[in-house]
Amino acid sequence: MRTRHILSTGQQRCYNDDGELIDCRGTGQDAEFCPGVGWPENRFELIDDELVRDHATQLVWMRNICPTDFPVSWQEGLAFVEQLNREEKFGRKDWRMPNRRELRSLIDHSAKKPALTAGHPFQNVFLGWIWTSTTAAIAPKYAWYVHLEGGRMFYGNKNDYYWVWPVCGASAVLAATGETQCFDNLGRTVACSESRQDGSLATGVPWPRPRFISLQTGVLDRLTDLTWHTQANLCGETASWSEALAAVCAYAKETGLPWRLPTINELESLVDASTHTPALPAAHPFAAIQEAYWSSTTSAFATDWSYVLYLGKGAVGVGYKKNRDFAVWTVM
């Protein structure tokens, strides 16, 4: 499937509501279609025993996932990468804390404990939260972080202590997050020249203007080339995961169009990290926006659960497949 600026999730198997392996054919699940930019066969390259190049994104990561030796606050994390640049650590002076899309790009949704690709070259892996440089728009005293045990993304108080995994380089694959302002640990707006946070660097592919175009069949996202249904609530009410998949398959058959339930990476691609409630770009053309949505991606951590996008906040979590807790949005 032709998609730009969204990595495939890495999911290669399909599961039923009980978490049991099933044949992917006709399920409408992530692993049936494997949409998104594919990963190279040898994704990670070790450089000088200290750095790792990700050939899926071209970003360069420290091999040591926890180089601070102990957890740090968000401000301390920003200061740490500034120190790395002053020292030109490993011959580089473009170190930064990754933004939310950069850090999530490493998640392999077929893996758990850690949610990293099998055979990865990273060291000092910690199964906990890793800071990003992206402030949570819904609560600017908080910043986004990613949990390496299972791949969830939520936000934590900037004065709490978590890990920092520095990155450098640029990616022509990953899209920018949309963050345009900078904030301190108290949630106050500050000059972006004061630190290398997401709003200052705005790394990633810029969004086209206009980003969305309304077509007869739906809404084209010119950033990713995905087409989304204008009505972001196919069922009209919350559904279970199997009900969501069945409803989308029935709708595709009824319309003769290749609608499907989006992967968690496709859902997350819609998020504008500069706003909330909903976390969608300004002037978006969508109607009937709901708080949270099922994805077609099963959680490898617990296969009777599936990944969910909390669109009000922009968070990535999981939901129990049998519960009728989340809404349904279609993509093609």
The model's pLDDT over 171-182, given as tens digits with 9 standing for 90+, comes to 999 999 999 999
Section 327-332 average pLDDT: 99
Please tell me whether residues 199 and 220 are part of one structural domain. Answer: no
Is 32 part of any domain? no
**For range 137-145, the mean pLDDT:** 99
Location of structure tokens 């807790």: 325
Last residue of a domain, one of 206, 231, 246: 206
> Could you give the CA distance from residue 31 to residue 12 in angstroms, rounded to a whole number?
5
In this prediction, residue 1 carries a pLDDT of: 57
Query: Residue 302 sits in a domain of what CATH number?
Result: 3.10.100
Q: Among 159, 185, 206, give the residue marking a domain's end.
A: 206
* Tens digit of each residue's pLDDT (9 = 90 or more) over 154-166: 999 999 999 999 9
CB 3 within 8 A of CB 33: no
Dist CA 219 CA 55 (whole Å) = 31
Domain enclosing residue 314, as ranges: 1-7+208-332
User: What is the rounded average pLDDT of the residues 269-277?
Assistant: 99
- Average pLDDT for the chain: 97
pLDDT at res. 2: 75
Q: Classify residue 16: in a domain, yes or no.
A: no
Same domain, 235 and 123: no
For residue 265, the model assigns a pLDDT of: 99
Q: How many domains does the chain have?
A: 2
Picking from 58, 96, 100, the residue whose alpha carbon sits closest to that of residue 269 is: 100
Same structural domain for residues 218 and 278? yes
Judged by DSSP in three states, 160 sits in coil
Residues 97 and 146 in one domain: yes
- Top pLDDT among 194 and 54 is at 54
* Domain's final residue, options 206, 236, 258: 206
